[in-house]
Amino acid sequence: MAAALTHLPPEILHAILGYVDPEDLARISLTCRYLSDFIKGNNALCRAIYLRIMDEPPTKDLDFEQELHDMVMLKKLCSPRDSTHDRDIRTHLPFVYRTVTRLLNHATTVTSPPPTSTASTKASGAASSTSSPSQPTTTLRQSRAQTFPVSRNTAFLTRLFDQPRARANFLSRSYLYELGRGLMIDGCDGPLPAHQQHWPRSPPYDGGGGGGSDSGEDAAGGSGHDDGDEGPDSSWAVPPPRHLPQRRRTRSETGRRVPKPRRASEAETYQMSAKLHCLYGWGLGFEDGATPGKTDAEGRKRALRRARQGGGAYSLACSKVYDLREYTLRNKWGPFMEADADHPGLRVDWEKVEAILLVLGTNIRSKGLERFPIFWNLWGMPFAGVWGGSYIPWSRDKEQSKEKEMRELDRKDPYGVNGSWLRAVSFLDYSDFFSFNFPIVDRAPDNLPRAPLDASQATRLILMRIRVTKIEPAGALDHPDYPVVHFDGFSRALDGSWGENADSDLRGTVRMTPDGEVRWTSVSIFDGEERWKSEGVQLGGIRSARGVVGNWFDKDYNPQGPCGPTAFWKISDREFSGEDTQQVLLEDLFPLIADDTYGRSDDEYGLNGLDPFGSWADGDALEDEFGDTLFYIDEEDMLNADEDEEDAEDYLEDEDEDEDHDEEEDDSDHVA
């Protein structure tokens, strides 16, 4: 065969080799000198192979030969031979980090941020993740809840990290998982063996009391509290998991297990692994055996049950998210590192973002919200919309002509602020929050995290609508090539029981940090007074569909809290015009849910199996997040013009009349 190939014209040989897999190209070059000379340095051939299997990158002068080499190397690292030691594989984390982030930067985009200055094309390498999205394409949403396009780059990465070993080696090397491994917490050291995945979780890690006795009595049983004189989880007296097979205990297991402090030499490793985990998605499937992005019935049922039980890495993440020591003025109480003389601008702390995603993702799953595609597409799928320019715009058909006449402010806004956003907020009961942060006896050293926190939380959904009000040049501590965009708007609770704390006016800013991350700041205003504030970072960069992840807290930075995690993502580009709550719900959220709840007969991902009220629940039904507050209207009634809004209002009135009629019947039956 080599002899026949060597006699072909270069054009035909190029066309043939263009269908070779990247792994085989190197093997072919070893067959003879002619093919070796033809392949080596042939950037055009490598480009043809690359574009056949991957998205077209934004730049034409890319070294495609090196790109293919990196792809092959990445595949080998994510699917190594059994004889390769994991310790050796993990040394390649910096390479994996660079390659994964570069492939995401080169993924398909649908919108291109307008340039803000002539220098924007000369942005520093640190800002390349947001300043150079791939070439935009004309893309429509496959469904209203599918807010980002299909990407061959992310499909490639998803296949690679479908291997549990790859996720364990590269996505769980942050300090949070290192801490969990040291404490032998389930789900922190790779996937559990198959025979353990059906066991109940480890017992709660109760705080130990008293003077630090090392006797085995505490570990063998009991709660570990001394007469209740401490708050929950205030120290690190951790009993070994009682459900493990019986074996002879080591001295460290029968005594007090104390966490090891962070290793300064591993700070960069912690951050790289945490960011990769954030880009991949919140769940790694180690604790419940459920493969991320897949909805096999048994796996998802197990994942739902495990999410409601808590424990594992989730309890460590809660401890980090609700620990007030993590919030300082130097990090703006957000998911950032503390500013210093060497780094006066804010830098994202990806370990904090990782913890926030773990907390919110578990809370969303525990409420069964993954059965709605608007949640599943972003919280259940790996690498979901985590690249710049991935958001697919959408608004009502009758407004398409209006969108062509954009406001001047919207044209100058590179961040895509204007529109409707869906928000999730979690919080602790304040008594639990206070007891956790201010125990009567506080043994937590400043250089160690607090003990795992497994208290119950509330999670609420909020619909926000915001618009651009002002655009200013970058500040001294911002990226010089991107402006500061101011916005205002309002938020409305989707849970009526929380209306007083969620229905508010909003205002805030969006800006670029010096290292190229999009920072969002928002303030909630009640009766003209600022009350709550939030700081967040947009995963993936400018106009990413994945949205913003961060912290909420008191606007005065109250040292006694409260604070907690929050996230929001864009669902619609409808023009803001001061509508009331009912109109916002009817025109933005309900059509989106109706389309994907009733319109997907094939149920591509098997989301119907995630219904928490199925027969498998065995009486322990999950809380319906929407409760009696949300209702569903047929999409045909929702997608038409203004006259159908009157039909929707009539529908609501009919519902109220039916309820009144039912109450009258109940009263009459009672009298009878």
Least confident range of 152-156, 162-166, 591-595: 591-595
Domain range list for the chain: 595-671
Query: What is the per-residue pLDDT for 215?
Result: 35
pLDDT of 584 reads 64
Is the pLDDT confidence value at 239 over 90?
A: no
So what's the pLDDT on residue 295? 64
The residue that leads in pLDDT, 227 or 268, is 268
Residue for token pair 């849970």: 495
CA angle 559, 565, 571 (to 5 degrees): 140
pLDDT digits (tens, 9 = 90+) for 313-332: 899 999 999 999 999 999 99
Paired tokens of 66: 């090196």
Q: Which of 626, 615, 341 is nearest to 462 (CA)?
A: 626
| C-beta of residue 16 within 8 angstroms of C-beta of residue 8 | yes
- Give me the helix-helix angle, 93-105 and 267-280, nearest 10°: 40
Residue 309 phi, psi (nearest 5): -80, -25
The reported pLDDT for the residue numbered 174 is 95
- Which of 242, 273, 40, 276 lies closest to 176, judged by CA? 273
How far is 412 from 641, CA to CA, in rounded Å?
30
pLDDT at 197 over 80: no
Mean pLDDT computed over 587-604:
57
Half-sphere exposure in the Cβ direction for 165 (13 Å, CA): 14
Least confident of 23-27, 156-160, 288-292, 355-359: 288-292
Burial of 309 (0-12, 13-18, 19+ CB in 10 A): middle
Burial call 608-638: b when 16+ CB within 10 Å, e when fewer: ebbebebeeeeeeebeebbeebbeebebebb
State the Cα–Cα distance between residues 11 and 431, nearest whole angstrom.
74
In 390-456, which ranges are E strands? 419-428
Quick count: other Cβ atoms within 10 Å of Cβ 289? 21
CA atoms lying within 13 Å on the CB side of residue 141: 24
d(CA 232, CA 228): 9
What type of residue sits at position 232? P
pTM of the model: 0.79
CB 202 within 8 A of CB 310: no
3-state secondary structure 331-400: HCCCCECCCCCCCCCCCECHHHHHHHHHHHHHHHHHCCHHHCHHHHHHHCCCCCCCCCCCCCCCCCHHHH
Token pair, residue 416, equals 């895509």
| Whole-angstrom distance, CA of residue 36 vs CA of residue 544 | 41
Can you name the residues that pair with 467 across neighbouring β-strands? Answer: 488
pLDDT, one tens digit per residue, over 96-126 is 999 999 999 999 888 544 444 433 433 333 4
Percent of the chain at pLDDT > 70 equals 65
DSSP calls for 628-661: TT-----HHHHSS-THHHHHHHHHHHHHHHHHHH
User: 250, 624, 282: which is closest to 461 by C-alpha?
Assistant: 624
* Degrees, nearest 5: CA angle 263-186-312: 80
User: Is beta strand 457-472 parallel, antiparallel or unpaired with respect to 484-493?
Assistant: antiparallel
- Is the per-residue pLDDT at 644 higher than 60? no
Per-chain mean pLDDT for the chain: 76
Cα–Cα dist 576/573, whole Å: 9
- AA identity, residue 378: L
Do 154 and 104 form a contact (C-beta atoms < 8 A)?
yes
